[in-house]
Structure formats: structure tokens, C-alpha cells
Chain A
């Protein structure tokens, strides 16, 4: 069908390049988009519709069959009365805030340092990317091997220095800090890459002009480089916020949300309700709220950015 269309299009083109060829091109353009549209319909639109539908239903599983009945907003009313959900939202907010700030600071500082380095520029630019390509599952394994009470690297070092071993992942604070450290290690590279690319886009003459005017290196960073990088930093901040709210794999293996739900991020809590509690209606309602919240964050950020741009 596509071939026919192309041939027809070519014939028309060779005869007369007018409105006919345009409509041929139009048909080809739709045919070429079709596989993507089908994929989205089956694996994105339908699951989102299903999520929406389930969140207004009471669903029960009996002998492997699903029985659903409409129950209005009952699933949504459950959320404020579920202390674990409130806890998960709090944990996610704290986790997101810390991870976004720490990775932004570390990544920006790293990029500025590497950019003015003489010895390590090439090596660091390469190595600093590595954590971002490691599978999250393997990242948890790597950090388990560092934090574990017996085989962990930290406790081995402490043992050789004559200290008592610590069980890092067993205390609420210890586990939460560990999870943040792991996330910072894993995703600072993304911030680094962006800022580094942004730095290389800065016109060197501007920096030279600053130096000629007698600005110190720290003044140049604070007054010239950072303001120029601000739009890039804003984009990456939104990106990191989304990534942190979506975080799942690392915590699922490292802490399973424990101890006492101290690292129970919202994705982990939703998984538990879907897979272990099997309360599909409630899990969907909670999911829908998260999706809407994320949509709002991105929507607001996007419109703010457009406003900013049009002002300039």
C-alpha cells in the first residue's frame, strides 16, 4: 500500500508538481507515522485509559478472574486515610528535593572544574559519564557491596582501622542517606553532561572581557558563567525532579522501602498495592494522582519557560 502510494506520488510528481503531489506526500507522511501511532495507542493510551477506568472501580480477583464495579470516588478518599501513602509522598518529596539539589550542585561544580582543568580534562570528561550507563539494578548491587555489614567496603575499612562495624541500611536515617548517596552517584553524570555542553557553548570573548576588566575567577563563575547557564540548569532541574519522582529500581533492591518505610518512595508503595495487596482500584487512583501532579509540574515549568523566553 505504501509502495503504491509512493509510486503514484512519483508519477504525479514527474507529470506535474502541483497540489496532487502534495496530497500524495501527505498520505505518505501519515503512513510513515502510523506504526508509531498504533504503538502509542496500544501501549500508552490504552494503559492510561485503563488506569483512569480502574481508579473509579472496585476490582476484585477471584480465581484469576477480575470483577469490577463502579465505586465513584471511594478509591481517592482512601488516599488521605492511608498513613503509608502520606509517608510515601513525604519520603518522595524529601528524596526528590535532596537529590535534585545535590546532583545539580555536584554536576555543575564538576563541569566548571573539569572545564578549567589542565591535567584531568579528557579523563574526567570520560569517567564522569560512566555511572549513568550502569543499570540501576547493578548500581544497587554495587552499593550493597559497599554498605553491607559484613562484606561491605566501608565496614572493611573501618575494621582495619579498628572500629566497630555499622549496619548502615538498618537504621531509618542511615538507609535514607544511603539511598540519596546512591542516587547522587548514579545521576550526577547527567547534570555534568548538560552543564559541560552548556559551558562549551559560552563565547570565550565574554569571559576574556571579564578578565580584562579585572574580575577574579570566582567572580567570573558567579557573575558571568552561572547566569548564562541558568536556562540549562532550569531544564535539568525539571528533568531531575521527574527522574527522582519516578525512581524505583535502586530502592526496590537496596532497601525494599524499609526500614519502617523510611525509604518507601511512591513508586515502591504503588507497586506494593498493585502486586502484593492487589487493590487495583486504590493503586490506580494513587497512580492517577501522581501522573496528574507530574503533568502539572511539567506544564507549569513549560509555560514559565515560554513566558521567560517571550519576555526576552
Chain B
């Protein structure tokens, strides 16, 4: 009886591990394939059989000053860091306020309603309004405009996340500092903010990934112009009349592999951001 059970158990485990292995391979194939193609000359890519020969030319062509690629990377980096810093700054104040300062209901109700409503609205439906706003602010086709849009889409999640981090810090800590005569601002900057730091890391990484990956607003608000982010640049490579698969792969490689490596290394922070981000947005 015991023997049968053990045999059965090890057999089940074998299928279990095998199916996980298959799932891992299925997850990795598209990623590995784009990495391979990024380092192949077009001649081998177009060949209908497998032909592997290492080549760095795709990257060399992309980095050529006549291409927009370098500028687009720079744009994307600016948008990503700008969005991250602005979101964290505004999120810190608002999250702290919601968690510890007990703002009046007339101020919090619209915040909560909009913060839960905005994430369910398809971004395409807000395009005409945002387009008009950016035109009025003279920010159409500018990096600043894209930073502002990315910030607004990430703020609802960021604020609720940061609020929940501040919620975990006991109220007594703040009260003790107040009793000692510390001003509200000092308590925020030197007591509570440092305690919530790990939380800010998780929110910051999540927001950065979202901003780096954003496409629709970049496409419509820059129409592929000087301020276009990397994602829009990649899209224009795909839609070129003559598709250069090698360069397309290399560009995809540059946009995706750093993020994947970051995920592999800092998986704990990213996982906590993704799960909370998904629920709260």
C-alpha cells in the first residue's frame, strides 16, 4: 500500500515537472527568437531554412546618426524617469494625506471615484479630450506632454499603493513625533518617508515599466515626430514599406531585454508592484 503510493506520487511529479518545463519553453521561445534574429544578417533571416551566423550589423544600422533610434531611446528614458519622479512626488503627498491626515470627505470622495474609474476607461476614448488639452497648453508633440499624460494614468494606482504603505506604519509613531514638537513637514520627510521607502521602490519600478512600454498616447500625441518614444519608433519599423526584420528585432531587443533582466534580478519588487497594480488599477 505504502509502496504503491510512493510510486504513484513520483510518477505524478514527473508529469508535473515536465509540463512546467514545456510551459517555460513556450514562455521563452518568442523572447529567445527575437534575441537570435537581432544578431542575424538579413540574408540568414530571410532564408526559409535555419541559418545561424552572428552579426552585429543590425545594431550598427540602428545606431547610425541618420536614424531616429538614438533620439527615441533618449526620449523614452526622459519620459520614463520624468513620469516616475513626478508620479512618486505627487503620489507621496497624496498617499500620505489619504493615509494619515484624514482629509475631509468632499476632497477624498472624488479622488476615490476617479482613481477607480480612470483605469477602466480605454485610453483611446480620452484621446480627443487630451489632444485638445495638450493643444491648449502648447504641449502637443512634446516630451513634457507625454510625461504629464503618463503620470495621470499611473497616479491612481501609485497613490493607492503608497497610501497602503503609509497605512502599515503605526499611527503612534507620528503622534510621538508630534508630541515632541516636530512640525508636520519634518515628520513626513524624516520619519515616515524613509520608513515607506521599500514601497516607493516597488511603485517606482512599476510606473517606470508602464511609462517605458506606453504606445498609444506616444503615437497620437507625437505623430512619430521628434518627441516620439521608442515604442512608436519600433511601430514605424514594423509598418515600413520594406520591413527590415533584423533592425526590427534589434530594436525590440533594446526595448525589451533590459526590462526582462531587471525583472529577473528584482523579481520581488516587480511582483509586488504588478499584483497590487493590477488590482488597484
Q: Which residues of A come within 8 Å of B, CB atoms?
A: 2-3, 6-7, 9-10, 13-14, 17, 24-26, 28-30, 32-33, 35-37, 39-40, 42-51, 54, 110, 113-114, 116-120, 123-146, 148, 150-151, 153, 155-156, 159-160, 165, 185, 190, 193-194, 197, 217, 235-236, 239, 242, 245-246, 248-249, 252-253, 266-267, 270-271, 274-275, 280, 283-284, 287-288, 290-291, 294-295, 298
- The verdict on A6 contacting B20 (CB below 8 Å), with A26-B104, A137-B231, A249-B216 known, is no
Can you name 20 A-B residue pairings with CB atoms under 8 Å? A6-B183, A9-B184, A29-B104, A30-B97, A30-B104, A36-B93, A43-B126, A51-B126, A124-B23, A127-B27, A129-B267, A130-B260, A131-B30, A136-B213, A136-B215, A144-B248, A145-B248, A193-B278, A248-B123, A274-B128
A143 to B244: give the CA distance in the assembly, Å.
15
Q: Which residues of A contact B152 (CB under 8 A)?
A: 39-40, 42-44
Of chain B, the residue at the smallest CB distance from A274 is B127
Q: Which residues of A contact B111 (CB under 8 A)?
A: 33, 36-37, 40
Q: Tell whether, in the assembled complex, residue B130 and residue A47 are in contact, meaning their CB atoms are under 8 Å apart.
A: yes
Q: Which residues of B come within 8 Å of A, CB atoms?
A: 12-13, 16-17, 19-21, 23-24, 26-31, 33-34, 37, 45-46, 48-50, 90-91, 93-94, 96-98, 101-104, 107-108, 110-111, 114-115, 117-130, 132-133, 148-149, 151-152, 155, 159, 178, 181-185, 209, 212-213, 215-216, 220, 231, 234-235, 238-239, 245, 248-249, 251-252, 255-256, 259-260, 262-264, 267, 270-271, 274-275, 278-279
A294 to B88: give the CA distance in the assembly, Å.
28
Q: Which residues of B contact A288 (CB under 8 A)?
A: 125
A246 to B19: give the CA distance in the assembly, Å.
31
- The verdict on A128 contacting B27 (CB below 8 Å), with A3-B185, A6-B185, A151-B37 known, is yes
Of chain B, the residue at the smallest CB distance from A124 is B20
Q: Which residues of B contact A33 (CB under 8 A)?
A: 93-94, 97-98, 103, 107-108, 111
Contact of A35 among B94, B263, B271 (CB under 8 A): B94
A288 to B122: give the CA distance in the assembly, Å.
10
Q: Tell whether, in the assembled complex, residue A47 and residue B238 are in contact, meaning their CB atoms are under 8 Å apart.
A: no
Q: Which residues of A contact B263 (CB under 8 A)?
A: 126, 129-130, 133
Q: Tell whether, in the assembled complex, residue A275 and residue B122 are in contact, meaning their CB atoms are under 8 Å apart.
A: no
